[in-house]
Each structure stands twice: as structure tokens, then as C-alpha cells.
Chain A
Amino acid sequence: DTGVSQDPRHKITKRGQNVTFRCDPISEHNRLYWYRQTLGQGPEFLTYFQNEAQLEKSRLLSDRFSAERPKGSFSTLEIQRTEQGDSAMYLCASSLRGLALKETQYFGPGTRLLVL
């Protein structure tokens, strides 16, 4: 499978615990995005990387959230001291930087987080 993969697919945790999600982009893609989607809403942008550099972060990304892409390949998203409001689907997408007119983002299956 050469698509975007995410792990785990589901995570249930207790409030106050830390969780970490992983995203593996399409192998030649140098851009990687994280989005969050709550029930009945469209995805909302969280952050994006170009290679290993984190170039933009949304105000939605509080101090409890941190994302890394250490070697410009896979990325991790960590949430510390989880709160019930963090319950959502976390989506990863990747793209190949090129002509902006044609840049297509490809999404993974998502990680569904439930904070009890």
C-alpha cells in the first residue's frame, strides 16, 4: 500500500494521560499536514511540515499539542494531559510540493481519539 497510513486507528484514553499518534506519508511527498475533525464538522487545519521544518501552526494547536517530523519522513502528534474536548478524529495528509495550482493533498484513514 503506497497511501498515507496512520497508527493507531483508534485510541481510548483517560483524561490527563498523554497520547501519541503516528503518520507515514506517501514516500516521495515532502509536505505533511495534520487536521482535526469533530463530529459533524469538516476537518480543521492544525499544522504542516515541509520536509522536517514545521512551517505553520494553527491557534487550535495549544501548548499541550506538539508535532514532529524528525527526518522529513514520518510524523508524530503528541497530546499531553488530554482533555475530553480533545476527542476527535485526527487526520494526516501529505502532498508533493510543486506547482501550487496542481498540489493535491492525500489523506490517511485517521486516528479516532476518545478521552474518557
Chain B
Amino acid sequence: KQEVTQIPAALSVPEGENLVLNCSFTDSAIYNLQWFRQDPGKGLTSLLLIQSSQREQTSGRLNASLDKSSGRSTLYIAASQPGDSATYLCAPYTGGGNKLTFGTGTQLKVEL
């Protein structure tokens, strides 16, 4: 059974800082891993998908890396802004179950 852990659970940083969110998973037999953003009371917005054969994927100020063999992914956010404040969720996709397994997320607050 896939288990996903995200560290830290919460993070508060001043505007402009670069930051790293960590995700670890127990079953390395994944097809891909998605990073999502969730604003309070809202649905999930897909940020990045990184394929199991890839090491990195970039979108704007976001960069996701994947080390499949060690069961780790990181999301790097450059030059953070108050609008980045949200909960960030990682979810590996396990083809055997055709489903995403989520961690509990990292709640990010970027302060002015």
C-alpha cells in the first residue's frame, strides 16, 4: 500500500524567499507524480506532473524533482509571493490501482 509523507506540515516564510517542500513515498513502482495546490475550501489545481523516467520538471517559478528509487520528490518555489500561500499536495500515481495517493500536504504562508 502506497504511503505518502510530506514535510514540513506547515511553513511560514517572508516574501521573496526560495523554499523547498518535501514528499516521500513508500512504493517506488509509480508512473508519475503530481504536485497540486489547494486553496482553503477549494478543489485541487495541478501544478506539475513529473514522469517516472524524468528527474526534473519546471513551470515558471516552480521546479519539481523526482528520485524514484529512493521514493522522494521535492517542489522548489523560487522568489515566493503572498499569492503562493496555499496547501501543497504531492500524489504519486500507481498504475496498479489507477489512483493517486495523497500526503497530508504542506500548508504554506508567504508573508509581506
Contacts and interface: CB of A to CB of B under 8 A. Distances in A.
Contacts of B45: 107
Contact of A56 (B89, B99, B103): B99
A45 B95 CA distance: 14
Contacts of A43: 44, 89, 100, 102
A45 B100 contact: yes
A104 interface: yes
**Chain B interface size, under 10 / 10 to 19 / 20 to 34 / 35 or more:** 20 to 34
Contact of B46 (A101, A104, A109, A112): A104
A101 B53 contact: yes
**Chain A interface size, under 10 / 10 to 19 / 20 to 34 / 35 or more:** 20 to 34
A48 B34 contact: no
Nearest to B32: A101
B69 interface: no
A45 B99 CA distance: 7
A106 B49 contact: no
Interface in A58-90: 89
B44 A102 contact: no
B49 A102 contact: yes
A93 B99 CA distance: 10
A103 B43 contact: no
Contacts of A102: 32, 49, 51
B107 to A, nearest CB: 9
B55 to A, nearest CB: 14
B43 A42 contact: no
30 contacts: A4-B43, A33-B99, A41-B104, A42-B91, A42-B102, A42-B103, A43-B102, A45-B97, A48-B98, A56-B97, A91-B44, A93-B44, A100-B32, A100-B95, A101-B51, A101-B53, A102-B32, A102-B49, A103-B31, A103-B93, A104-B34, A104-B46, A105-B34, A105-B46, A106-B46, A107-B36, A107-B45, A108-B43, A109-B42, A109-B43
5 A-B pairs closest in CB distance: A42-B102, A107-B44, A100-B31, A45-B99, A109-B43
